[in-house]
Amino acid sequence: MRSPLCWRKEEFKIRAVEALAALEVDYLEQLAFIGERNRDGERWREAGVLLMLSCKGEQVTLLLNKRSDRVQQPGDLCCPGGTLHPLFDRLLHHLLHFKRGAAYHRAREQGQHLFHWITFFLANAMREAWEEVRLNPFRLEFLGALPCYQLLPFQRVIFPLVGWIGPGVRLRPNWEVERILHVPLETFFEEDNYGLYSLAIPESYRGRIGGGNARAEFPCFVCLEEGREEVLWGATYHIVMSFLKAIFGFQPPEAGTRRVYGELYPS
Protein backbone atom coordinates (compact mmCIF):
# COMPACT_ATOMS: atom_id res chain seq x y z
CA MET A 1 0.00 0.00 0.00
CA ARG A 2 1.26 3.51 -0.82
CA SER A 3 1.72 5.81 2.12
CA PRO A 4 -1.66 7.37 2.95
CA LEU A 5 0.14 10.70 3.10
CA CYS A 6 0.43 10.50 -0.71
CA TRP A 7 -3.32 10.14 -1.22
CA ARG A 8 -5.17 13.08 -2.66
CA LYS A 9 -8.39 14.24 -1.04
CA GLU A 10 -10.74 12.49 -3.46
CA GLU A 11 -8.72 9.27 -3.36
CA PHE A 12 -8.78 9.40 0.43
CA LYS A 13 -12.57 9.75 0.51
CA ILE A 14 -13.11 6.89 -1.95
CA ARG A 15 -10.82 4.59 0.02
CA ALA A 16 -12.47 5.61 3.29
CA VAL A 17 -15.96 4.81 2.01
CA GLU A 18 -14.86 1.40 0.72
CA ALA A 19 -12.93 0.49 3.88
CA LEU A 20 -15.72 1.56 6.23
CA ALA A 21 -18.32 -0.31 4.16
CA ALA A 22 -16.26 -3.49 4.57
CA LEU A 23 -16.41 -3.31 8.38
CA GLU A 24 -18.82 -5.40 10.41
CA VAL A 25 -20.49 -2.73 12.51
CA ASP A 26 -22.21 -4.01 15.63
CA TYR A 27 -25.04 -1.49 15.97
CA LEU A 28 -27.80 -4.09 16.17
CA GLU A 29 -25.90 -6.21 18.70
CA GLN A 30 -25.17 -3.20 20.90
CA LEU A 31 -28.78 -2.03 20.81
CA ALA A 32 -29.81 -5.52 21.94
CA PHE A 33 -27.17 -5.34 24.71
CA ILE A 34 -28.57 -2.02 25.94
CA GLY A 35 -32.10 -3.41 25.96
CA GLU A 36 -31.05 -6.48 27.95
CA ARG A 37 -29.09 -4.46 30.51
CA ASN A 38 -31.90 -1.99 31.01
CA ARG A 39 -34.43 -4.78 31.49
CA ASP A 40 -32.14 -5.99 34.30
CA GLY A 41 -32.48 -2.62 36.03
CA GLU A 42 -29.36 -0.87 34.73
CA ARG A 43 -29.44 2.51 32.96
CA TRP A 44 -27.45 2.22 29.76
CA ARG A 45 -27.85 4.90 27.08
CA GLU A 46 -26.93 5.32 23.41
CA ALA A 47 -24.90 8.20 21.97
CA GLY A 48 -24.01 8.98 18.38
CA VAL A 49 -20.71 10.80 17.73
CA LEU A 50 -19.29 12.34 14.57
CA LEU A 51 -15.65 11.87 13.61
CA MET A 52 -15.05 14.94 11.44
CA LEU A 53 -12.45 15.11 8.66
CA SER A 54 -11.51 17.97 6.40
CA CYS A 55 -8.66 19.51 4.41
CA LYS A 56 -6.45 22.36 5.57
CA GLY A 57 -4.41 23.34 2.56
CA GLU A 58 -3.22 20.04 1.14
CA GLN A 59 -3.40 18.21 4.48
CA VAL A 60 -6.21 15.90 5.53
CA THR A 61 -7.05 16.87 9.10
CA LEU A 62 -9.07 15.41 11.94
CA LEU A 63 -11.25 17.92 13.79
CA LEU A 64 -11.66 17.48 17.54
CA ASN A 65 -13.48 19.55 20.14
CA LYS A 66 -11.81 20.52 23.39
CA ARG A 67 -14.48 20.43 26.05
CA SER A 68 -14.98 23.63 28.02
CA ASP A 69 -14.84 23.87 31.80
CA ARG A 70 -18.63 24.30 31.86
CA VAL A 71 -19.38 20.65 31.01
CA GLN A 72 -18.57 17.20 32.34
CA GLN A 73 -15.07 15.87 31.55
CA PRO A 74 -13.64 19.39 31.01
CA GLY A 75 -10.49 19.68 28.91
CA ASP A 76 -10.95 16.33 27.16
CA LEU A 77 -10.67 16.11 23.39
CA CYS A 78 -13.79 14.63 21.84
CA CYS A 79 -15.98 14.32 18.78
CA PRO A 80 -19.32 16.15 18.64
CA GLY A 81 -22.03 13.85 19.95
CA GLY A 82 -24.44 12.98 22.69
CA THR A 83 -27.48 11.03 23.71
CA LEU A 84 -30.65 10.83 21.66
CA HIS A 85 -33.29 13.52 21.32
CA PRO A 86 -36.39 11.57 20.25
CA LEU A 87 -38.12 14.41 18.37
CA PHE A 88 -35.32 16.30 16.60
CA ASP A 89 -33.29 13.20 15.75
CA ARG A 90 -36.33 11.58 14.14
CA LEU A 91 -37.04 14.70 12.08
CA LEU A 92 -33.49 14.94 10.78
CA HIS A 93 -33.40 11.18 10.21
CA HIS A 94 -36.44 11.51 7.96
CA LEU A 95 -34.63 14.13 5.85
CA LEU A 96 -31.61 11.83 5.46
CA HIS A 97 -33.80 9.43 3.47
CA PHE A 98 -33.37 11.85 0.56
CA LYS A 99 -29.57 11.93 0.77
CA ARG A 100 -27.53 10.21 -1.92
CA GLY A 101 -23.89 9.21 -2.17
CA ALA A 102 -21.57 6.22 -2.20
CA ALA A 103 -21.58 5.75 1.58
CA TYR A 104 -25.38 5.77 1.81
CA HIS A 105 -25.53 3.25 -1.04
CA ARG A 106 -23.01 0.96 0.66
CA ALA A 107 -24.84 1.24 3.99
CA ARG A 108 -28.12 0.22 2.32
CA GLU A 109 -26.40 -2.92 1.03
CA GLN A 110 -25.97 -4.05 4.65
CA GLY A 111 -29.72 -4.48 5.08
CA GLN A 112 -32.61 -2.14 5.78
CA HIS A 113 -32.64 -2.67 9.56
CA LEU A 114 -28.96 -1.83 10.00
CA PHE A 115 -29.23 1.04 7.50
CA HIS A 116 -32.08 2.49 9.57
CA TRP A 117 -29.94 2.59 12.71
CA ILE A 118 -26.79 3.83 10.98
CA THR A 119 -28.68 6.79 9.55
CA PHE A 120 -30.59 7.34 12.81
CA PHE A 121 -27.37 7.71 14.79
CA LEU A 122 -25.94 9.80 11.96
CA ALA A 123 -28.89 12.16 12.41
CA ASN A 124 -28.26 12.17 16.17
CA ALA A 125 -24.56 13.01 15.66
CA MET A 126 -25.36 15.66 13.04
CA ARG A 127 -27.78 17.40 15.41
CA GLU A 128 -25.17 17.40 18.16
CA ALA A 129 -22.56 18.78 15.74
CA TRP A 130 -24.95 21.59 14.83
CA GLU A 131 -25.50 22.41 18.50
CA GLU A 132 -21.81 22.24 19.46
CA VAL A 133 -20.00 23.76 16.46
CA ARG A 134 -22.79 24.96 14.13
CA LEU A 135 -21.99 22.40 11.45
CA ASN A 136 -24.75 22.52 8.83
CA PRO A 137 -25.94 18.88 8.48
CA PHE A 138 -26.32 19.32 4.73
CA ARG A 139 -22.70 20.42 4.32
CA LEU A 140 -21.44 17.11 5.69
CA GLU A 141 -20.48 14.23 3.38
CA PHE A 142 -21.15 10.90 5.10
CA LEU A 143 -18.29 8.40 4.72
CA GLY A 144 -19.43 5.46 6.85
CA ALA A 145 -19.85 3.94 10.29
CA LEU A 146 -17.37 2.52 12.81
CA PRO A 147 -17.93 -0.26 15.36
CA CYS A 148 -19.40 0.81 18.69
CA TYR A 149 -17.42 1.58 21.82
CA GLN A 150 -18.72 0.75 25.29
CA LEU A 151 -18.00 3.50 27.81
CA LEU A 152 -18.31 1.27 30.85
CA PRO A 153 -17.78 3.88 33.62
CA PHE A 154 -20.78 5.86 32.38
CA GLN A 155 -22.98 2.98 31.15
CA ARG A 156 -23.05 4.38 27.65
CA VAL A 157 -22.54 2.86 24.20
CA ILE A 158 -21.03 5.16 21.58
CA PHE A 159 -22.13 4.77 17.95
CA PRO A 160 -19.42 6.50 15.84
CA LEU A 161 -20.02 7.90 12.34
CA VAL A 162 -17.43 9.41 10.00
CA GLY A 163 -18.02 12.51 7.89
CA TRP A 164 -16.16 14.88 5.59
CA ILE A 165 -16.49 18.66 5.83
CA GLY A 166 -15.93 20.41 2.52
CA PRO A 167 -14.26 23.76 1.84
CA GLY A 168 -15.90 27.00 2.92
CA VAL A 169 -17.68 25.55 5.96
CA ARG A 170 -17.22 27.79 8.99
CA LEU A 171 -17.54 26.18 12.42
CA ARG A 172 -18.46 28.21 15.53
CA PRO A 173 -18.09 26.54 18.95
CA ASN A 174 -20.86 26.97 21.52
CA TRP A 175 -20.42 27.18 25.29
CA GLU A 176 -19.72 23.43 25.54
CA VAL A 177 -16.57 23.71 23.42
CA GLU A 178 -13.44 25.67 24.39
CA ARG A 179 -12.02 25.41 20.87
CA ILE A 180 -11.75 23.19 17.80
CA LEU A 181 -8.45 21.47 17.01
CA HIS A 182 -7.35 20.68 13.44
CA VAL A 183 -4.98 17.72 13.81
CA PRO A 184 -3.08 16.75 10.62
CA LEU A 185 -3.78 13.10 9.88
CA GLU A 186 -0.11 12.50 9.10
CA THR A 187 0.83 13.15 12.75
CA PHE A 188 -1.03 9.99 13.79
CA PHE A 189 1.59 7.93 11.92
CA GLU A 190 4.48 9.33 13.98
CA GLU A 191 5.22 6.87 16.78
CA ASP A 192 6.86 9.52 18.96
CA ASN A 193 3.44 11.12 19.43
CA TYR A 194 2.14 8.10 21.35
CA GLY A 195 2.60 7.27 25.00
CA LEU A 196 0.93 6.74 28.34
CA TYR A 197 -1.23 9.25 30.18
CA SER A 198 -0.71 8.86 33.93
CA LEU A 199 -3.67 10.35 35.75
CA ALA A 200 -4.26 11.01 39.42
CA ILE A 201 -7.81 9.77 40.03
CA PRO A 202 -9.95 11.77 42.49
CA GLU A 203 -11.62 9.61 45.10
CA SER A 204 -15.07 10.41 43.69
CA TYR A 205 -14.12 8.73 40.37
CA ARG A 206 -12.19 5.72 41.64
CA GLY A 207 -15.24 3.47 41.67
CA ARG A 208 -15.65 3.99 37.91
CA ILE A 209 -12.18 4.76 36.52
CA GLY A 210 -8.81 3.26 37.33
CA GLY A 211 -9.99 0.15 39.18
CA GLY A 212 -10.14 1.92 42.54
CA ASN A 213 -6.50 3.08 42.34
CA ALA A 214 -5.28 6.58 43.13
CA ARG A 215 -3.39 6.73 39.81
CA ALA A 216 -3.99 4.95 36.50
CA GLU A 217 -2.32 4.88 33.08
CA PHE A 218 -4.07 5.09 29.72
CA PRO A 219 -2.76 4.96 26.13
CA CYS A 220 -2.71 8.40 24.57
CA PHE A 221 -1.76 10.51 21.57
CA VAL A 222 -0.11 13.90 22.09
CA CYS A 223 -0.55 16.68 19.54
CA LEU A 224 0.78 20.22 19.39
CA GLU A 225 -1.88 22.85 18.74
CA GLU A 226 -1.03 26.57 18.74
CA GLY A 227 2.09 25.88 20.78
CA ARG A 228 0.23 23.85 23.41
CA GLU A 229 0.32 20.11 23.98
CA GLU A 230 -3.09 18.45 23.93
CA VAL A 231 -3.71 14.86 25.01
CA LEU A 232 -6.12 12.54 23.22
CA TRP A 233 -7.09 9.59 25.41
CA GLY A 234 -10.08 7.53 26.52
CA ALA A 235 -13.08 6.79 24.32
CA THR A 236 -12.18 9.28 21.59
CA TYR A 237 -8.64 7.89 21.38
CA HIS A 238 -10.04 4.38 20.83
CA ILE A 239 -12.51 5.62 18.21
CA VAL A 240 -9.74 7.40 16.29
CA MET A 241 -7.54 4.29 16.48
CA SER A 242 -10.46 2.20 15.19
CA PHE A 243 -10.73 4.58 12.23
CA LEU A 244 -6.99 4.45 11.47
CA LYS A 245 -6.99 0.66 11.62
CA ALA A 246 -10.02 0.42 9.31
CA ILE A 247 -8.66 2.79 6.67
CA PHE A 248 -4.90 2.26 6.84
CA GLY A 249 -4.38 -0.96 8.82
CA PHE A 250 -2.53 1.19 11.36
CA GLN A 251 -1.88 0.01 14.92
CA PRO A 252 -0.43 2.42 17.51
CA PRO A 253 2.68 1.39 19.45
CA GLU A 254 1.79 -0.57 22.58
CA ALA A 255 3.29 1.85 25.09
CA GLY A 256 4.83 4.64 23.04
CA THR A 257 7.65 6.90 24.15
CA ARG A 258 5.74 9.82 25.66
CA ARG A 259 4.84 10.07 29.34
CA VAL A 260 2.22 12.63 30.28
CA TYR A 261 1.06 13.33 33.83
CA GLY A 262 -2.14 14.96 34.94
CA GLU A 263 -5.15 14.88 37.21
CA LEU A 264 -8.54 13.60 36.12
CA TYR A 265 -10.97 16.53 36.00
CA PRO A 266 -9.40 18.70 38.72
CA SER A 267 -11.84 20.99 40.50
Q: Which domains does the chain have, with CATH numbers?
A: 4-189 (3.90.79.10)
Instruction: Give the Cα separation of 163 and 99 in Å (integer).
Output: 14
Instruction: Quote the pLDDT of residue 2.
Output: 44
Between the CA of residue 157 and those of 40, 48, 96, what are the distances in Å? 17, 9, 23
Arithmetic mean of pLDDT, 45-50: 98
Mean pLDDT over the full length of the chain? 92
pLDDT at 59 over 90: no
pLDDT at 199 over 60: yes
Instruction: Give the Cα separation of 81 and 71 in Å (integer).
Output: 13
Arithmetic mean of pLDDT, 107-116: 95
Instruction: Give the Cα separation of 156 and 200 in Å (integer).
Output: 23
Instruction: Give the Cα separation of 132 and 134 in Å (integer).
Output: 6
pLDDT at 248 over 60: yes
Q: Determine the number of helices (DSSP H) and then strands (DSSP E) in the chain.
A: 6, 12
Taking the model in full, what pTM does it have? 0.93
Instruction: Quote the pLDDT of residue 14.
Output: 92
* pLDDT digits 0-9 by tens, 117-141: 999 999 999 999 999 999 999 999 9
Return the beta strands (E) in 87-238 as ranges. Answer: 140-145, 149-151, 156-165, 177-184, 194-200, 215-225, 228-233
CB 73 within 8 A of CB 265: yes
Residue-wise burial string across 100-137, b where 16 or more C-beta atoms lie within 10 A, e elsewhere = eebbbebbeebeeebbebbbbbbbbbbbbbbbbbebeb
Instruction: Give the Cα separation of 229 and 29 in Å (integer).
Output: 38
* pLDDT digits 0-9 by tens, 61-76: 999 999 988 888 888 9
Instruction: Give the Cα separation of 51 and 66 in Å (integer).
Output: 14
Instruction: Quote the pLDDT of residue 4.
Output: 56
User: Could you tell me the pLDDT band of residue 222, with boundaries at 50, 70 and 90?
Assistant: very high
Q: Where does 44-141 have alpha helices with state H?
A: 86-96, 102-108, 112-133
Instruction: Quote the pLDDT of residue 44.
Output: 98
Instruction: Quote the pLDDT of residue 42.
Output: 96
* pLDDT digits 0-9 by tens, 153-168: 899 999 999 999 998 8
pLDDT at 1 over 80: no
Arithmetic mean of pLDDT, 176-180: 94
CB 133 within 8 A of CB 102: no
